[in-house]
Amino acid sequence: MSTTPKKKSATREWADALLFAVIAASLIRWLLLEPFTIPTASMEKSLLVGDFLFVSKMHYGTRIPKTILQVPLTHQKIWGTDLPSYSDAVQLPYYRLPGFSKIKRNDVVVFNFPEEHWYPVDLKTNYIKRAVGVPGDVLEIKDTQLYINGQFGDNPEQMQFSYDVLTSRQLNAEFFDQYGINPDSYFGFSDNSGYLVYATDRVIEELKQASVVTSVKKRTNKSTQGDGNIFPDGAFFGWNKDHFGPLEIPGEGMTIELTEDNIRKYGYTIEKFERLDDVRFEGNDLYIDGEKQSQYTFKQDYYFMMGDNRHDSLDSRFWGFVPEDHVVGKAWFLWLSLEKHKSFINKIRWNRFFRSIH
């Protein structure tokens, strides 16, 4: 005796389709590609606020989720609420599937912000910067110029710095717009003598030709006192964001002697990111599991990340190395770009559609 299968209701069909869509989207987001939006100006003009891009998980190898108890397609919060979207009751060990390549110097990388120690690693806020230094590199900055292993580092084509631009009169948004400078990239001085401007070398050369511009001077911190906000101890080493290092970037298998200088340079990294259970410092001595250490061998690779907008970027100069287990993926290509300061059809930056990221 044959029976006719019971037809699903329209509600059940919609529910099944929605479930399939959520599962498929979650798998794509985890295994292959994740959408990302540029929220700040730290990568201008290479990447602009309002750029929408895809991050490839495949290039460096997909990272197995550490936090598995999580609402699908969320990050830290449930949409539109302040409710956590996850539970950290179950945490898996770090593991990454094989990828196409390792991080290369000058790759644009999306990673979890290392300093958010209150979140599980895979749920820390996503940042995007350029990997200017890779394991084993000795990095130094002299008068804003990056050096790698004693040689000039590659300068991104659209790299920006800050400048004092003095003018003979006040200027408006239309003036700056013709140079491609948006309202978030210039600020008037209180005495109306000019503007602080973030711009590329090319734009600055063009500004110098404007009849209303009387003087242009690059802002550079030449102090030898050091900046206490600079990693790892700017006040002690006399470093600031424009004069930094030399500092060797640690990698898996690299062994250091635990001198006072090395404790200052690498102690924080060892304590916070090497996945050790019992780490403590007594003066200039490091103890692991109660035993004093004279040397230390790193367990994973680290990277030095900087924004292309060098004077408006919170990056490794301020908070240190990015551990390999914090790497999300490679910034791959743009698929949409919207200018927040314009309206209607003018918001769309058509020339940035489907542009690869370098």
Reported as a single tens digit per residue, the pLDDT across 122-147 is 999 999 999 999 999 999 999 999 99
Judgement on whether residues 173 and 98 belong to the same structural domain of the protein: no
Distance CA 35, CA 38 (A): 10
Same domain, 181 and 104: no
Distances (CA, A) of 187 to 156, 195, 210: 24, 5, 18
Tell me, yes or no, whether 153 lies in a domain: no
pTM of this prediction?
A: 0.92
Sequence-distant contacts of 203-206: CB under 8 A, at least 24 apart: 203/179, 204/163, 206/179
Domain of residue 26, residue span: 12-133+303-358
| 10-residue stretch averages of pLDDT, the chain, 358 residues long | 63 63 62 87 95 95 93 87 92 94 97 96 96 98 97 96 97 94 95 97 96 96 88 94 97 96 96 95 92 96 98 97 97 94 88 92
Q: Is residue 329 part of a domain?
A: yes
Separation of first and last alpha carbons in the chain: 66
Residue 232: CB atoms within 10 Å = 19
Which residues lie closer than 8 Å to 351 by C-beta, 6 or more apart? none
Overall number of domains in the chain: 3
Domain membership of residue 185 (yes or no) is yes
Q: Alpha-carbon distance 198 to 229, whole Å?
A: 21
292 and 309 in a common domain: no
Residue 264's contacts (CB-CB under 8 Å, 6 or more residues apart) are 232, 233, 236, 237
- Same domain for 122 and 50: yes
Give the max Cα distance, the chain.
95
Q: Which of 251, 237, 304 is CA-nearest to residue 136? A: 251
Contact between 151 and 105 under an 8 Å Cβ cutoff? The reply is no
- CATH number (domain holding residue 84): 2.10.109.10
The single-letter code of the amino acid at 172 is: N
Residues 32 and 120 occupy one common structural domain:
yes
38 lies in the same domain as 102: yes
Backbone φ and ψ for 85, nearest 5 degrees, come out as -95, 10
Check if the beta carbon of residue 241 is closer than 8 Å to that of residue 314.
no
Same domain for 25 and 126, yes or no, is yes
Spatial distance between the Cα atoms of 73 and 75, rounded to a whole number of angstroms: 7
pLDDT digits (tens, 9 = 90+) for 156-206: 999 999 999 999 999 999 999 999 999 999 999 999 999 999 999 999 999
